[in-house]
Structures are given as structure tokens and as C-alpha cells.
Structure 1
Amino acid sequence: MNMKVRAAVAHGNGLPLTIEDVHLRPPADDEVLVELKASGLCHTDLFINEGKFPLKLPAILGHEGSGVVLECGKDVKNVKAGDHVILNNVPHCGHCRCCRSDFTNYCEDIALARLRPSAFTWNGEPLMTMGQAATFASHTVLRSYNLTVIPNEMPFESAALVPCGVMTGVGAVLFNAKVRSGSSVLVWGIGSIGLNVLQSARLAGAGRIIAIDTCASKEQAARLFGATDFINPNDLDEPLAQHITTLLGGSADYAFECVGNVEVLKQAVELVNPFWGVCLAVGVPPFNQQISLPATSFYFGRTVRGTFIGDANPVTDTPKILDWYRQGKLRLDELVTHRLAQDEINQGFELMKRGESIRSVIVY
């Protein structure tokens, strides 16, 4: 029998999300019913509602979540009722070409999930979701391979951030770029992902970690998470590129663009070493934007590439991140700056747009 649940529904055009009663079907044989306990608010959710990211609306967004398993289909083996879990941002079906090739962050089920009937209906019509998580609803149904069990003592609010903001930042440094000990690192954009890049660069043993942001109030958090230097470009009397070159005595070994701004990305490319430098585009720009770079940017050995969920494997790398958190090597609790009720979700997005939050979390 379908159950009635409360969900924040996105309508697009930048309109406020509305809290609605929607219906959720029971789990199929390979699916799980989860009661959400916490959901992070991510810039991607904001972009979708503003029309900057392709998804059919109305929809239930939200892709950073944690909760408790209530019910399992008869074929589910990896979780059981009562387990505390995080809802992975990307699935791991284990048998598609990507999963077999160890490119599990590109599991083909990401696309196939959009072709399956939604578990939610609203006013008698199917209601689209972002991926399978739909963490802006009080309950959700998803395939069991989207779940990872977490220790019962881990705070739901901190755990909810692992599948996207934490995984993307940590993975970009440790699994994609593989930052070397003693190296120099530039990080643009000191939000949730940028802070995770900073603390992962520290974990990797980077020697100089330079945080760059136009919001002066982010300096304290940047240094807490591992920055050795903080630069507000608006405070400089010289071009940013000249200032960084003077600080480092040359170009940087690594650069991470976490803003989603193509002009910033162009600058990041030019500021890494032309022979061995690595620049990662971590932030997500609007899909209709293009970037132009001089051909000489790639003449020697400079590498420029993107990353999706930090190139992390949700099965093998999520436990690593949880272990680093338990060992005190990664700060997750400090990422949560605002705890909000579900009906305060629009306030969370306003905090995000004003740059006043690291991560706002909906607590159910």
C-alpha cells in the first residue's frame, strides 16, 4: 500500500520549493524503504531549480542524505531493517561496463534510473526525482546498492554530507589528482567542496595550501581545514596571478576550481606548472557556458581534467572516508553550519546564495 510522505517539491524558474503531501509506493524485491533523518543542501539542487541543470520538473531533489532502513525487499542482502545508512549520490550496480572497469562513479544506472517509473506520485501523476535518493522527502525508496551502512554513533547530519560534498572534495585530491606530499595546491571557492579539498590536501601532506575566495569571512574555516594561506582577490593591489607566483616562487603543482566559473577555471589552468601541473575542474558551471584556452596551455605536460564525485568508488572509498572521520583525520561535523526543519528549506537556499553557510542540513 502506498504511504503518504512530506516532500519539498521543486518547480523550477527559481521559485521557492513547496512542502507537499506525496505518495510513495512500497519497495520492490531489490529495493529498500528509508526514513530520512538528515539531508544536505547542495548547489546542484539550487542550479536545477534555477534551470541551470537539465532535469524535468516538478521533482523531488536532494542527493545528500542519511537515515534508517525501515523495510527491505526479499532479495536485499547488504542492509537490514534498523540499519543506519547513507544514500549514495551515485549507484553501484556492479555489472555495467563502468562498474566492471572500475569507473564506478559513472555507473550506467545513473541514466537508467531516469527511465524507470518513479516511486513517488503527486496528484496522481509520477513525480521525478534527482537520481534515486530524493532526500528532500521524509521517506524514500531506492535500490539497495545505493546504500552504505554507517556506525550508529555517527551523527546523521555529518553522515548526510559524505555522498556528495565530502566525496567530491576528498576524491578530487586523493583519488583523482593524487596530490603528492610536499606539493603546492591552489583551491578556488571555499564552500563545502573547497573545504574538503583543503583538508584532503593536508591529509596528503601538501606543503603549501592556498585558499582563494572573495568572501573574507571564510578565512577562519579555510585555515581550520588546512589552508596555509588565504587570499581574497579583492584585497590585492596586484593581479592575483602575480601575487600567487610571488608567494610560490613560480607556478603551483595542483589547482582545484571549486566555484563553477569558467573565468576562474581559465586562471587556474594558467597558474599550474606547464610541465607537470594538474588542474581539476571540480565546480559545476552552467551547462550552456564554454571555455577557451590557448593551445600552448597543453603543449608540454600540463593536465586539465574534470572529476565527477571525486572519481570515488562508493563501495570501497566510502568506508575509507568514514574511517578517516573516526580517526579524526577528516572534519565532517564542522561542515554543518545550519540545522533547519524541512519547511525551512528555502531559508537554507537563501543562506547558500548569500554565502553565509558552509552546509545547511535539513533535520527530519
Structure 2
Amino acid sequence: MSGTDAPPARAWRLSDFDYPLPEACIAQRPVTPRDAARLLISRPEGIEEGRFSDLTRLLRAGDLLVLNDTRVIPARLFGHKTTGARVEILLSRPVAEGENLWEALVRANRPVKIGGAIELGEGFSARVEGREEGCFRVRLHAADGDVEGALARHGTLPLPPYITGSDPEENLDRYQTVFAAQPGAVAAPTAGLHFTPALLETLRAQGVEVVMATLHVGLGTFQPVRHDNLAEHRMHREFFTLSEAVATRINATRSAGGRVVAVGTTVTRMLESAVDASGRVRAMSGDTALFILPGYRFRVVDLLITNFHLPKSTLLMLIAAFTGKSRQERDYAHAVASGYRFYSYGDANLLFPDPG
């Protein structure tokens, strides 16, 4: 189900995935209710306009909706070194379970030294223990032993830098999906932000099955692609868990002729990472660094629900792989001209694949 106009992956350049986007198109606050967001329905033969709530007529009995139930943690921390120099830490992913050691981005007005201590709040601190592949390793310490509680008190939600006009109180609720359950992400799986409990219940009543898997969104969301030759780009690893029960439901849906509907690029990468050579999805728990470019052959995902993504981003590249590059360009030109709202708090896309 890859685009029909796809050259080999090694031929793609970063500049191939640039497009002009007026700043006014970037959504600063979410719409209310969640499912009132606009929906661009992309088919090979053309574009249809709708609202996110129109999923009730676009999906059908026998379809399987796969959601990412990760929960965004307060991963942005502000503190200071013993010298008084200010420091900002953005946690990315735990290095080892239960050890409070994290991969992180660390920014300071003076260079950060290995072994340096950072005060983050009363009874809460961090120590820089190493550096690897552009990330620091930071160990968190709470005087009372409750690091999770200290994060909740002193950390903030790591909203993307292009959201500058939002309401901090509103973000606590709206930058989480209504089904967020598994703490660990440093960014929201934004396609899922449009669902309401009522919409999910209506879809279930219509015979659409809904299942949950988990991928903790990490630094790949924040890091720009630095190589013009995309064959040189390496994705950051992100941890995911796909249960035996969910894998069984996916395989059963496909065997029965139903459609697997991935909610977001995170779910897409998770499912495509868990399929074996025979085409069956397997239960897995581990890391994925799957980088999807046009030319990739999708083996699990039949429909894709997603938001509108940044120029030159790996997420935009995945969309171009699913629809074909020319159709992605068509859709995005239409979205800009029609005043769609872009990025995390923006509108949504329902993508149908090209035939074959």
C-alpha cells in the first residue's frame, strides 16, 4: 500500500518534504468539543470535507480502531546549577526501569559538565551522568524517594515550541487524550486528541472495535532531521508495548476482511514494527526506530487518522509514504488554502491508501 510515485528511499532529500506554511495556520488552542475539529478525507480520487465526528459514517462494522494510550508526563524541568546558572531539562525516555536514569536534552546558559548537580526544587535534584548520541543521561533524585511525585510537583507538560498562545490550565486536560492511561510520553499522540468518550461509544455501538496499545512518544518528535540525504537519518528509539490480545484482534480483523485503522503515526510505526515476515502481527514489548519514507510497503495499516505535520518532519515523510508523494502535496496545498489548522492542536486527516 505504498505510494505509486515513490523512488527508492535513498533518493529522497530533506528538501523534498518542505512546503510553505503561514504562521497563522498553526493552531494555538484546541477546538471545543474535541470532535468538532475539521477532517480532511483524502482518497486517491479526491478530497472530501468533514468534521472529526463524521468518523461514525466513514468507519464501518468490522473495522478495528487502534489507539495509543500513552500518557504525557511533566517532562520539562527548570532548575539551576550550584553556580546559579539556569538549566532546562527535557526528559526523553528512561534508560532502565526503576533506576530513575533518563535520556534527556539539557540546555543551559553555560556548558553542562558530566557529574554536575542540578537543583530542581525542594528535595528534588538531578545529576548528569553521561552523554551519548546527542543526549545526556540524567539521574533524578527525590529526598523522600518519590521521584514520580516530585515530577508531578515540579515538572511541566512539554508542549511543542510552536504552541505559544495556549492556556496552561487548559493544556493539563487537552494535551492528553481522553483514554491516556500509561505514563511515559514527552509529547501527546495528537491524532487521538480529537476523540471524545461519546464518539468512541458510538463507534463501538456501530460495530467498530476499539483496542489500545502503547508507544511512549520520545525525542523524535522534537529533534529536526539534520541530514539532507535522508538515507543518513537515524530515528530515535521509542518504547512500545503491543499485547497478545491486541495482536490477536488485529490478525483476526485482517483475516475477516475488516480494516485496521491506525490512529496516528505512533500507532502506524508500532504496528509496522510488530509484523513478521509472514504478515502476522506479533505481541511485542521493546524499542522501535522504524523510519518510513515513500517506497515503504505498508503491511498492517489500512486507514490512517493523523494531524497535519511540520515541513521536513519524519511524520510528513510517513504520510507521503502512505498516500504517495504527489497526493500528500495535493492534500497539504488544499489544507493551507482552505484554512485548516495545523500541528498538535490542529485539525485532522483521514487517509485512504492508493489501490493496491
RCO comparison, higher one (Cα < 8 Å, 6+): 2
* Greater helix fraction, Structure 1 or Structure 2: 1
Q: For this structure pair, what is the TM-score category when the shorter chain's length is used for normalisation?
A: under 0.3
Relative to the length of structure 2, the TM-score reads 0.27
